[in-house]
Amino acid sequence: MKITVVGPGRWGSFIAWYLDSIGHRVTLYGRRESEKMQEFNLRRKNDYVELPLSLELSTNLDSLLEAKVIIISVNAQGLRRFFEEIESLEIKNKIFVLCMKGIEISTGKRLSEIAEECLDPSNKVAVWLGPGHPQEFVKGIPNCMVIDSNDEATKNLLVDEFGSNLIRFYYGTDLLGNEIGGAAKNVVGIAAGILDGLGLSTLKGALMSRAPREYSRLVEAMGGNVLSVYGLCHLGDYEATVFSQYSNNRRFGENFAKGESFYKLAEGCHTVKALKQLGRQYDVDLPITNAIDDILYHDTDPKTTLEQLFTRSQKKEF
């Protein structure tokens, strides 16, 4: 298939590299002023991948019109702005695949909802979620991920076309639950990193036991399947998010606890605000979310806040 990948960052560049490696005709799009795109135009590589000559590079949005599938890997909070940017192209009859995890802060909407709201109805929308890091994939270390969509034919096509021995794709059955679970796992990653930074890594077991239950209650209240949170979108992503040295969210949390700066994107910093709003909207108690929000945005002491979180109740485990 002819595919255009939007976003020359860590995930976008890996996805372009991966889809080219399994035989698709791929173009990687980035803005002309993007430093990451300029680096690719100059050297055809970044810290993660080296792009083969078979993979096209473009700074022209018209490359979206030439593709059957448009894969988007940009900052989740900038997704609506990107759709506004391409509105004049009047794109129709394409498949848009969202490869970010997040919730729009200003509206509380899932990313697929934003896409369906902004795009022509003739377009189909899917999400690509699950565990894995480009640093491991490029070494040939396999993993499993999930693709979900409200359109069954689109989902089946993408799973069939994108799967390989490196990435095995599962068919998602709950778009809402997969998106909320995928976004929320980044908040859990920040919490895990803060525990690492405080020397309290032993509490990760308690964190991993409580977090899926917390977010499954939210998914249920929103009309999704509670079991989705226990799949690849959330619990199945914990190894890559809660423990891995490559997890930006975990590393952000660890650096935050140590008072050190971290310059890479950690989507959980934005997602925690959106989740807190959804908790209020659907009347669901989200103690982990609220604790991380207090630490990041209300200057509460991380150690005291997390200790209170894990001692807040003597209720039964489940």
Q: Which residues are catalytic?
A: 185
Distance, in Å, from the CA atom of 178 to the CA atom of 95, rounded to the nearest integer, reads 19
Distance, in Å, from the CA atom of 306 to the CA atom of 284, rounded to the nearest integer, reads 20
Please report, to the nearest 10 degrees, the dihedral formed by the alpha carbons of residues 219, 274, 124, 71 taken in order: -120
Residues 6+ apart with CB under 8 A from 201: 195
Give phi and psi for 143, each to the nearest 5. Answer: -155, 170
Distance (Å) of CA 195 to CA 61, 165, 248, 272: 43, 35, 15, 17
* Maximal C-alpha separation, the chain: 60
Distance (Å) of CA 68 to CA 19, 157, 217: 13, 12, 37
Distance, in Å, from the CA atom of 137 to the CA atom of 252, rounded to the nearest integer, reads 22
Distance, in Å, from the CA atom of 152 to the CA atom of 113, rounded to the nearest integer, reads 17
